[in-house]
């Protein structure tokens, strides 16, 4: 049994309450960081969607320009064949050039049909890109507004955390160094609640019964013990 004045135990319990609040604020700040990252990811996905659709639109436009170029090349070839027809001397040569002209016309007809399909695809893709861009701008505005709120929440949290750190240091100065050393060791090992009251022979830290003799000693002598089950510091809390 470590005999400790009740006032010291009360101060230690206050210190723990302040530290627990600090842990809660740190958890909130960590959540805020996660919110910001989630918003950035959402915005990045929307931007990537616009880039992807825009690239597909450019590919469609290029394919259309290639088709246009093919049609022009074929028209030029048709004109050259017609010029050649004026100078041919045999029917065989004439028929060959005529056949070539018909084939070029047929090929151009197929290309022009494909170009109509390409134009429809371009129109649809342009509408899709425009829609995504509008959605992106709306999302940017929403994200910016949300981030402003998050930044304020973060600033408030850091201010509170700074105040908590100040309180911890001030309260810790009022605790006996030996008691503070014990508390720090237990806290490092337990990671959460390091000191808990005992009520009706039960450690409220782990909800396990402590030995009756230990409970009697805690009632008779003001001090702290170590719970045999959870290894927390325990003290007797008188019923109100």
Q: What is the pLDDT of residue 70?
A: 94
Per-domain boundaries in the chain:
49-174
Hey, CA dihedral for 81, 86, 89, 94, is it positive or negative?
positive
Separation CA 103–CA 110 (nearest Å): 11
Q: What is the pLDDT of residue 6?
A: 87
Q: What is the pLDDT of residue 2?
A: 65
* Closest residue by Cα to residue 221 from 14, 5, 12, 11: 5
The CATH code belonging to domain 49-174 is 1.10.287.1490
* Closest residue by Cα to residue 136 from 65, 53, 15, 32: 53
Contact 236, 218 (CB under 8 A): yes
**Model pTM?**
0.61
Mean pLDDT by 10 residues, the chain (240 residues): 81 93 90 91 96 96 96 92 87 90 93 96 97 96 94 92 92 91 90 90 95 91 90 88
240 burial type by CB count under 10 A (0-12 exposed, 13-18 middle, 19+ buried): exposed
Q: What is the pLDDT of residue 197?
A: 95
Separation CA 139–CA 43 (nearest Å): 7
3-state secondary structure of 145: helix
């Amino acid at each position: 049994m470590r005999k400790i004045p009740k006032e010291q135990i009360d101060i230690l319990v206050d210190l723990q309450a302040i530290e627990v609040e600090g842990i809660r604020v740190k958890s909130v700040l960590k959540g805020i960081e996660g919110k910001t990252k989630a918003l950035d990811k959402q915005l990045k996905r929307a931007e990537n969607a616009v880039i992807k659709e825009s690239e597909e639109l450019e590919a469609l436009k290029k394919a259309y320009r290639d088709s246009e170029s093919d049609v022009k090349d074929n028209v030029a070839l048709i004109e050259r064949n017609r010029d050649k027809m004026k100078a041919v001397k045999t029917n065989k040569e004439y028929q060959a050039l005529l056949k070539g002209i018909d084939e070029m016309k047929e090929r151009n007809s197929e290309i022009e049909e494909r170009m109509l399909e390409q134009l429809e695809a371009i129109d649809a893709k342009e509408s899709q890109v425009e829609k995504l861009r509008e959605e992106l701008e709306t999302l940017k505005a929403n994200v910016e507004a949300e981030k402003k709120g998050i930044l304020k929440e973060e600033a408030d949290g850091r201010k509170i955390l700074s105040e908590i750190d100040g309180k911890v240091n001030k309260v810790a100065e009022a605790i006996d160094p030996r008691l503070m050393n014990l508390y720090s060791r237990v806290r490092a090992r337990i990671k959460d609640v390091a000191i808990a009251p005992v009520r009706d022979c039960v450690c409220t830290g782990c909800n396990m019964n402590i030995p009756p003799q230990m409970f009697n000693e805690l009632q008779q002598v003001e001090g702290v013990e170590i719970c045999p089950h959870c290894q927390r510091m325990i003290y007797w809390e008188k019923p109100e």
